[in-house]
Structure 1
Amino acid sequence: MRIRSKSSTGPRGRMARTIGVLTAALAVASGLVSAGVAGADVTTTQENPYERGPDPTEDSIEAIRGPFRVDTERVSSFAVGFGGGTIYYPTDTSEGTFGAVAVAPGFTADQGSMSWYGERIASQGFIVFTIDTNTRLDQPGQRGRQLLAALDYLVERSDRDVRQRLDPNRLAVMGHSMGGGGSLEATVSRPSLKASIPLTPWNLDKTWGDVQVPTFIIGAENDSIAPVRTHSEPFYESLPGSLEKAYLELNAATHFAPNISNTTIAKYSISWLKRFVDDDTRYSQFLCPNPTDRTIEEYRSTCPY
């Protein structure tokens, strides 16, 4: 559109021309917004309020430490419902609250066997509670109840520094061996959980068709205590077909692989928690299509997420 002024020469003429062009442009823009133009895209994209940290990369999710600094809180063994433990939480408060995950050890083990998950996962933007069980001989059903009691402790009785950083509506469970079997038990008891990660899980119950929580099972190829053919694989296959689920089998690994710092376990556990506790689709790329790392013997999933 060309706007002609009454006077096209001299300073006043040039100023008038400039004002006229700006006025006309504003009028056109206003008309487009108020009336709408066929084919114009006026939609806006709302950002996910639970995204925490910078855009992820392979290096960032494999790192020993994530972008958040971490502090700890010790919980007494006299805590009601479980045997105490250690809470790892991000010190940052600028990005809002964080989701939380309770982590249970296996048969005869204590929280020390799971301590490496604490800072590694918390530094990626989660509150992590590695717990002791009431007795080291507790069975999966007992461990499942204790995982839920630990989450309740986080929400209701943890120190203010933890509670002010915690989103009570975004909670998850993890566990090793009988603690992994306990994770499955906890998901049945509390379907409001956002994610579950059983690690080389052991449980006499092989059918989990009632689970409604996104579940990521990690088995080990050379597990002789909870062999994948009688534990992890039937657990995974019994989960509902409509459920968001995945099964990762560690190549040449034993039952105790989850007790030692493991980049493969960390990488995909962090991605699963990010995707389903934080609803952060930036991490879908690490889960779908099925990964083929050399450390993975087999991977199954209901991808895409």
Structure 2
Amino acid sequence: MQQHLPSGTIPPHPSRPSRTGTFLGRSRTSTGLAAAAAATAGLLLTGLAPGAQAVAANPYERGPAPTNASIEASRGSYAVSQTSVSSLVASGFGGGTIYYPTSTADGTFGAVVISPGFTAYESSIAWLGPRLASQGFVVFTIDTNTTLDQPDSRGRQLLAALDHLTQRSSVRTRVDASRLGVMGHSMGGGGSLEAAKSRTSLKAAIPLTGWNTDKTWPELRTPTLVVGADGDSVAPVATHSKPFYTSLPGSLDKAYLELRGASHFTPNTSNTTIAKYSISWLKRFIDNDTRYEQFLCPLPQPSLTIAEYRGNCPHTA
């Protein structure tokens, strides 16, 4: 197979009348006034801090409430910076580029590492770096040790890159090491399945037109979005993406997205459909952000850009 490059506070529970006294009872006047004041204070606190309860419920939410427009946009709400990792300092992978939200005001972020495919370089998947990072992730697009590395090797390299990102990189303090995911194109996509198999603590995996000689993945415990292309002649969906998806455990949060009018190399250039559903999947499972469930459940319907979509709803993670 050849690939040619081109800290909020929880508001107090509002006071309310008991069954034995009311705010209007003559013998309860002072108590009633105090209770009314407490209730008013609680309502004011709730009004002044509408996000406090949500933040307490999910401390990993990042960014404003999503819309179709926001997840289809070429950039999200975060300004993005980047830093290079030389192959000379990379251990177990070939170096790459880290994209990350410039501001630290929102605390740490979940992270994802992305591998290119067979014979390809980091540049082939670079567009995903700033696009995902601007939505509130630290994203590491990598080179592999050699362009001929097979999926199992690429899986190990994805994990090595995650370890570098969380333990040794210059942005490690910005990363929540408990919320990590992997992506990859072609053999890199096959590598993302290998990585998820090896490290079950991963929160999300997204193989993009993935290729692997291993077609069955019943051991995976990581929520997985399999992306295929209807016109893929290198890794045809019938022998790669569809078997990958159907072999995943039925109890696993999983989905299969087949791109319409697309080829094996569609993930190598900016693509709104790939970005939209990748962002939604990463947000839902790395950030546990249920605001993005609306884009995944009910299942998306076939359209000008989607040939087929399968999945299990509602999600359980």
Query: What's the counterpart of residue 224 of structure 2?
Result: 215
> Percent identity at matched positions?
66
Q: Where does residue 282 of structure 2 map in the other structure?
A: 273
Paired residue secondary structure (2:57): coil
In the aligned structure 2, how far is the partner of 1:141 from the partner of 1:233? 19
Who is 2:304 aligned against? 294
Give the corresponding residue for 2:10: none
How many residue pairs match? The answer is 277
Q: 4+ residue stretches of structure 1 with deviation over 3 A?
A: 1-4, 26-32
Task: Please give the per-residue CA displacement for 1:6-30, whole angstroms capped at 9, x wherever unaligned.
Answer: xxxxxxxxxxxxxx98624236669
2:127 alignment counterpart: 116
- How much is the aligned-residue C-alpha RMSD, in angstroms? 1.9
Give me the TM-score of the superposition, normalised by structure 1: 0.87
| Other structure's SS at 1:264 match | helix
For residues 62 and 153 of structure 1, the distance between their equivalents in structure 2, rounded to whole angstroms, comes to 30
- Structure 1 residue ranges without an equivalent (≥5): 5-19, 33-43
- For residue 82 of structure 1, what is the aligned residue in structure 2? 93
Whether 2:107 is the aligned partner of 1:96: answer: yes
**Could you tell me how far apart the structure 2 residues matched to 1:63 and 1:2 are?**
55
Unaligned runs of at least 5 residues, structure 2: 1-22, 40-52
Alignment pair present for 1:156 and 2:167 = yes
Shift of 1:31: 12
Tell me what 2:33 maps to.
26
Q: Would the alpha carbon gap of residues 27 and 204 (structure 1) be closer, same or farther in structure 2, given more than 3 Å must change?
A: same
Larger radius of gyration: 1
- Name the SS of the counterpart of 1:240 in structure 2: coil
- What is the CA–CA distance in structure 2 between the aligned matches of 1:193 and 1:121, rounded to whole Å? 17
2:310 matches 1:303? no
Is contact 2:24-2:32 (8 Å) kept?
no
1:196 aligned to which of 182, 202, 205: 205
Distance 1:27 1:88, change over 3 A: closer
Structure 1 residues 67 and 3 mapped into 2: Cα distance closer, same or farther (>3 Å)? same
The code of the aligned residue for 2:75 comes to R
From 104, 113, 138, the equivalent of 1:127 is 138
Q: Describe the shift of the 1:27–1:290 C-alpha distance in structure 2 as closer, same or farther (beyond 3 A).
A: same
Q: Does 1:52 align with 2:101?
A: no
Over 3 Å counting, the alpha-carbon distance change for 1:27 and 1:71 in structure 2 is closer
Structure 2 residue 183 is matched with structure 1 residue 174: yes
